[in-house]
Structure 1
Amino acid sequence: MGNKVIVSSKLDGAVLAILPKFIGDAINTLPALALLKQLYPTQRVCILIRPHLAELFTRAAHYGLEIILDDRHSRNKHQGLYGMASQLKHQNFALAVLFRGSLTDALLARLAGIKNVIGYAQNARRPLLSHAFKLNLCHHYIYRYCKLVNDAHGRPFTHFSTPKLIANESKLTLSKQGKNIALYLGGKVKGTRYYPQKLALQVIQHVSTIQNINIFLLGDQSEQAEMEALAAQSISKGITICNLAGSMSLAELVDNIGAMDAVISIDSGPMHIAAACEVPCVAIVGHGTSPWSLVAPKTRKLIALTHQSMSLSEVDMIQDIEPARIYHSLLELMRDQHTNQS
C-alpha cells in the first residue's frame, strides 16, 4: 500500500474527521465514521463540519461523534485558517482523516500539529499527508470514504454499512389512514438538476389522484417563492397541498422526511436523507454535479429515473423524465412497501 499501517491500539489521542460541505456528501461519510468508531471505541472521534450541517448530525447521534464547528465558514464568528488550527491544536488529535480533497484542509491538519493525516493525493497536497492514497474516480463516494479509513489501518474491514439517520417525531399533521408523500423538485438554483415547474405541476396532479393522499412540498429559503407559486397553481386546480419550503431547520427536514410514506426528489440532499431514513424514494436524475453511479444511495427502497435525452442543453435533459413515469414509479414503490409490510 506504500504507507506504514496505522495500528489503532497504539495511537494515543483523539481522532478528527474533516467532512465535506454538502448534505449528501456529509451523509455518505457516515459508514466511514462508523468504521473509525470501531477502530477507536474508547477515544473521541470528532467531526469538523460547516455550521449549517450541525443540525443534520443531531439525527446521527447514535454514531457517537463529537461535533466541532468549522468557524472558518461561520457567519457570526469568522475564524481564519491559523485560528482554526490553533483551536484544534489544543485538543490532542493523533489522527486526521480528510474526506474532502481540499489543500487547505490538509494544511489545517498539519498546522494543528496532527502527526497522522490520511487523505487522497490530489490538489498538490501529497507532501502534507502522512498516508496518501491514489483516488480512483470510478469509486462510489461511500466507498472512497471507507477505503481511506480501511487502507490506512491495514484493511481490517471487508464490508461497510449504509448511512443511517434517526428522525425524531414530526410535528406535521399527517394522514393516518392514507399516504403522506413529500416532493422535492428543486428551484432554478439547482441548475441542471431542477425539474421545471410545468412538469412538477403535472407530477402533483398525478400524485393527487391517489386516494387519501397528503402532499408536502419541500425546499429551502432560496426556493421558497418558487414553491409558493407551485403550491398556488396546485390549489387553483383543486389540489390540497402543504408547502413546507423555507419553513424548516435541517433537523426538522430529517424529521419530516422520516415521517413520510415515500419521497419524490431530484438528485440532492433530501434524496440522501430519505435513503438514510429508510423512506422509499423516487429519484429524478438529470445532469448532476457528479456521475449518478458515484452518488446513488445504496438502498433497495429507491427507483432512479435517468434521462435518455438527446438534447445538447444540459438544463433540458431532465425534461426527458416524464411526469407519468415518475407517478408510476411512485405507485410501484408503494406497492412494494405494502407487500413487504404484509
Structure 2
Amino acid sequence: MRILVELPTWLGDAVMATPALENLFLAYPEASVTVVGSYVATEALKAHPRIERVVVDRTKAGGWRPLNLYRLAKELGRHDLAISFRSHPASKLLLFLTRSQRRALFDKKGVGPGHQVEKYQRFINDVTGRNDTPGALKLYWPPKRYDRPTLGINPGATYGSAKRWYPEKFAETAAAFADRFEILIFGGPGERDIAGDIERALRSEGVSNLHNLAGETTIPQLCEAIGGLDLFITGDSGPMHIAAAYRVPTVAIFGPTRDEETSQWMNPKSVIVRKEVDCAPCMKRTCPIKTHACMRDITPQQVFKAAKELLEP
C-alpha cells in the first residue's frame, strides 16, 4: 500500500500533527509513506523512520499555480490513499490531480472544537475508521547534549507581531537566570533584528554567557538544540511545539491566540503566562486596537516567577 500525506504548512501545526501521523502509521503498518509540504514542515518530520520519500511543495514560487500543482502531482504519482492536513482549495486540487484511489482532505470547520492535536486526530480517525486517541508530540531528531544547564529564549512568532512579547522583557527575564544557565537566543532568518536587540540588551547588563542562534540553524538543528534545553521561554510559535515534543520545561507567553487550541500538548513541565483582557483572544496578526495590552501588560517578573516555580522539584 502507498500513502501520500500533505503536511500542514506551518512548523507548529506540522509538529501538532505528529500524534495523528503516528496513529495513521500504526493503522497501516506495511504502507510505504510519501510526505509533501512546505520546506519547514518536511524538514522537521523527514527523520521519521516510516517516511520513505519527502517532496517539498514549491508550487507558489512562481508561474501559474494550477500548472505547478499538476506538475507536482505527476512527480508524486498515484497512491492508494492520499490525505492532506490542509483545507486549502489548492490541496484539494493537488490530491485530485494525483488520481489516487482514495482521497481525504482536512475540514477545519467539520472536526469540532478542542486542541489542534485532537482535531487532527479526529480527521485521521475518519480516514482509518479507528477510534485512536492522540499521544504525545514526537520528533525524531536527537536532542543536543549541552555541557552546562541551558536556557533558550524564543522571541519570534511567524504568524505576526501580535503574538510577540517585547525584546527588552525577554532580555530582563533571561538576565535574571544568567547565573544559573547558559543562554541561547533562537529565531528564524526574519527574526535576527529582535534577537539582536535581546543580545545587545543582555550584553549591556554584563551577561556574556549567551549565544545568538537566530537565522543560524537549519530546522533539524533547531529541533536538536531545543530538544536538549533545561528551560525554554517562548511565545506561541513553532519552536514552542518543538519543545513540547521533547518535554522541555517551558514557559509559554500567550496573548492574542487561544491557548486551549494551540498550547503545548502533553508536556508535564509547561506553564502558560497570559494577561486576561477583554479583547483577547482576537486571533489577529497585528493588534487591531493598537494597545497590544495582552502582551504589553505581561511583566518579566511574572514570567520569571512562572519559570522558577516550574523548575522547583
Written as runs of structure 1 = structure 2, the 5 A alignment for 1:58-77 is: 58=46, 60-64=47-51, 66-73=53-60
Asked if residue 106 in structure 1 is aligned to residue 74 in structure 2, the reply is no
Q: Deviations over 1:215-268 (max 9, x none)?
A: 111111111122122211211111122211111111111111111101000000
Using the size of structure 1 for normalisation, the TM-score is: 0.80
User: Per the alignment, in what secondary structure is the counterpart of residue 17 of structure 1?
Assistant: strand
Count, aligned residues: 299
Asked if residue 143 in structure 1 is aligned to residue 118 in structure 2, the reply is yes
Q: Deviations over 1:283-307 (max 9, x none)?
A: 000113xx22111122222101121
Written as runs of structure 1 = structure 2, the 5 A alignment for 1:238-277 is: 238-240=206-208, 241-277=210-246
What's the counterpart of residue 170 of structure 1? Answer: 144
Task: Call closer, same or farther: CA 1:187–1:57 in 2, change over 3 Å.
Answer: closer
What's the counterpart of residue 12 of structure 2? Answer: 24
Read off the aligned partner of 1:69 and give its amino acid letter. V
Asked if residue 306 in structure 1 is aligned to residue 278 in structure 2, the reply is no
Alpha-carbon offset, residue 152 of structure 1: 3.0
What's the counterpart of residue 286 of structure 2? Answer: none
Q: What CA distance in whole angstroms lies between the structure 1 residues aligned with 2:68 and 2:170?
A: 42
The answer to whether the 8 A contact 2:33-2:50 is kept is no
Asked if residue 206 in structure 1 is aligned to residue 193 in structure 2, the reply is no
Alpha-carbon offset, residue 198 of structure 1: 2.6
Q: Deviations over 1:105-154 (max 9, x none)?
A: 111111110131112457xxxxxxxxxxx614523211111111212332
Written as runs of structure 1 = structure 2, the 5 A alignment for 1:216-231 is: 216-231=184-199
User: Per the alignment, in what secondary structure is the counterpart of residue 54 of structure 1?
Assistant: helix
- Which one has a bigger Cα radius of gyration? 1
User: Per the alignment, in what secondary structure is the counterpart of residue 242 of structure 2?
Assistant: helix
Read off the aligned partner of 1:38 and give its amino acid letter. L
Written as runs of structure 1 = structure 2, the 5 A alignment for 1:109-188 is: 109-121=95-107, 135-154=110-129, 156-168=130-142, 170=144, 174-176=146-148, 179-186=149-156
Task: Call closer, same or farther: CA 1:95–1:292 in 2, change over 3 Å.
Answer: same
Aligned residues with identical type, % of pairs: 24
Alpha-carbon offset, residue 187 of structure 1: 7.0
In structure 1, runs of 5+ residues without a counterpart are 1-12, 123-133
Alpha-carbon offset, residue 27 of structure 1: 0.6
User: Per the alignment, in what secondary structure is the counterpart of residue 42 of structure 1?
Assistant: coil
User: Per the alignment, in what secondary structure is the counterpart of residue 61 of structure 1?
Assistant: coil
What's the counterpart of residue 195 of structure 1? Answer: 165
Alpha-carbon offset, residue 317 of structure 1: 1.6
What's the counterpart of residue 83 of structure 1? Answer: 71
Alignment partner of 1:322 out of 275, 299, 313? 299
Q: What CA distance in whole angstroms lies between the structure 1 residues aligned with 2:4 and 2:32?
A: 8
Q: Deviations over 1:26-47 (max 9, x none)?
A: 0111111111111111111221
The answer to whether the 8 A contact 1:20-1:49 is kept is yes
User: Per the alignment, in what secondary structure is the counterpart of residue 54 of structure 2?
Assistant: strand
After superposition, the CA RMSD in angstroms is: 2.4
Alpha-carbon offset, residue 161 of structure 1: 1.2
Q: What CA distance in whole angstroms lies between the structure 2 residues aligned with 1:303 and 1:159?
A: 23
In structure 2, runs of 5+ residues without a counterpart are 280-288
Q: What CA distance in whole angstroms lies between the structure 2 residues aligned with 1:251 and 1:65?
A: 17
Q: Deviations over 1:286-337 (max 9, x none)?
A: 113xx221111222221011211357546332122211111111111111xx
The answer to whether the 8 A contact 1:287-1:314 is kept is no
